Amino acid sequence: MSDPRYSVVGSTYPLDSKQRALIELVESLGPRFAERAERYDREASFPHENYADLRAAGLLGLCVPEKFGGRGADLRTYSIVSATLGKYCGATALTYNMHACSMLWPGALSDDLDMTAAQRAEHDRHRAIHYQRVIRDGAIYAQPFSEGSAAAAGRAPFGTTATRVGGGWSINGKKIFASLSGAAHYYGVLCTEAKPELSMRDTLYMAVPGNAPGLSIVGDWDPLGMRGTVSRTLLFKDVFVPDEAQMMPRGIYFQAASRWPHMFTTLSPTYMGIAIAAYEFTVRYLRGEVEGMPPVKRRMYPTKQIAVAEMWVKLEQTRSLFLRMLEDARVDPPKDARLRAYAAQFTIMENANYICGLAIRTCGGQSMLKSLPLERLYRDSRCGSLMLPWTAELCLDRIGREALYEAGESDD
Ligand SMILES: Cc1cc2nc3c(=O)[nH]c(=O)nc-3n(C[C@H](O)[C@H](O)[C@H](O)COP(=O)(O)OP(=O)(O)OC[C@H]3O[C@@H](n4cnc5c(N)ncnc54)[C@H](O)[C@@H]3O)c2cc1C
């Protein structure tokens, strides 16, 4: 276990033995991931080697329920594991979020939702197929939802449609920023059942095989940060998927999005990890302990000490809200917990970038060189508050509106 100041939960947070073992496992993989991170970033290439390690460690099944052969992690356990990964490689943690949540949402989260007996039976049949692919075959799932419209923000139906055809569905549309493009074996696509009028209530969640006829990956990928996510554009032209492609029964995604809001906080652990990494780097750098650098100490300057103090205060504010938010996570959370989840997401995403900025200012010019991780942490951290559906802007929108209006209220 690393110095508890640099662990996600610190030394006194209550963990069960399963959580403790998972953190130790990820901590043991982490240094290898950190070594490879520079190359994935430079090449904007997918972290295949890291996924081979995750697969070998049984971590692709982290959120697969135990009865389907997985490790049965709930949202809180997933988030702590993911933040630990985020300390070592942001792109691996962010893409792992897409895969792990493809397992968590049809798993522990769906178990909390209302379904008829027939829906529950159908769901159990379908998810057994998805889980078996992961546990037996080592498959990786992605979550391409964004379309460049108001849909990914939860304000309009997805323009990608699924039309009922014999024995399954025909999918047409486009997804942008599809992390794991070209690397995923299945793309968990949100689309709308094709009816004369599209409705968010008819959202379907379908796993499309990466090699399905009619699916193509287009566009380049050369972004500022999170370069290893390889988030290109997917085009769907009459892509057929059978009924069992459904990852949730009809109508259940819509129910999940309104009743299990913490499902949208799962991108934030990556950035919690990045914030910790930036702080840890700064302390080591100022102490002259960064590997490969001359052992020059810079810790004796009061301005550096104040900057490190400010970083710690920000980090602890962020971490405390992160851990509190995880305690709130449940189906049908009370209003204060929902508002706190928006605040936590906003805080983690914004503070991660702020802490990375302070780290660069404090460590100085040499720390910005590409041979050291800080400039990559800085660029990766910039992406957090842009991630839909809970961007920093949309969190503020929701906090303001939901504080001032009760459900169903308007000024008309
Ligand atoms: C590294 C990276 C990886 C990603 N991976 C994935 C992925 O795997 N799957 C996926 O689905 N998406 C992914 N995304 C996409 C991400 O979640 C956003 O969808 C994307 O950044 C939005 O870009 P845009 O410019 O099209 O946003 P726009 O839709 O143009 O929105 C711009 C901003 O306006 C605000 N806004 C948007 N809609 C509304 C509204 N209705 N009301 C008020 N304000 C609004 C939001 O703050 C938003 O950030 C990824 C993005 C990045 C940067």
> What pLDDT does 1 receive?
52
* 192: Cα separation from own chain's centroid: 23
Give the distance (Å) from ligand 1 centre to CA of residue 347.
18
Question: Mean pLDDT score of the chain, rounded to an integer?
Answer: 96
Among 386, 393, 395, 397, which residue has the most ligand 1 atoms within 8 Å of its CB, making it the best to mutate?
386
Q: Whose CA is nearest to atom 20 of ligand 1?
A: 387
pLDDT digits (tens, 9 = 90+) for 12-21: 999 999 999 9
HEC profile for 174-233? EEEEECCCCCCCEEEEEEEECCCCCCHHHEEEEEEECCCCCEEEECCCCCCCCHHHCCEE
Measured between alpha carbons, how far is residue 171 from residues 143, 284, 290, 356 in Å?
15, 51, 51, 41
Check pLDDT > 70 for residue 298: yes
Structure tokens at 197: 């009028």
> What pLDDT does 367 receive?
87
- pLDDT band (50, 70, 90) for residue 412: confident
Among 146, 265, 346, which residue has the most ligand 1 atoms within 8 Å of its CB, making it the best to mutate?
146
Q: How many helices (H) and strands (E) in the chain?
A: 12, 8
3-state DSSP call for residue 173?
strand
Kindly report which listed range (76-90, 268-282, 361-375) carries the lowest average pLDDT score.
361-375
Q: How far apart are the first and last CA of the chain?
A: 57
pLDDT digits (tens, 9 = 90+) for 76-101: 999 999 999 999 999 999 999 999 99
> What pLDDT does 311 receive?
98
Mean pLDDT across the stretch 307-319? 98
* Count of beta carbons in the 10 Å neighbourhood of residue 88: 24
Helix 17-43 / helix 75-86 crossing angle, nearest 10 deg: 40
pLDDT digits (tens, 9 = 90+) for 137-155: 999 999 999 999 888 888 8
Nearest atom of ligand 1 to the alpha carbon of 226: 1
Nearest atom of ligand 1 to the alpha carbon of 175: 11
- Contact between 248 and 123 under an 8 Å Cβ cutoff? The reply is yes
Give ∠ CA 335-338-343 in degrees, rounded to 5: 125
| Sequence letter at residue 77 | T
Give the distance (Å) from ligand 1 centre to CA of residue 224.
15
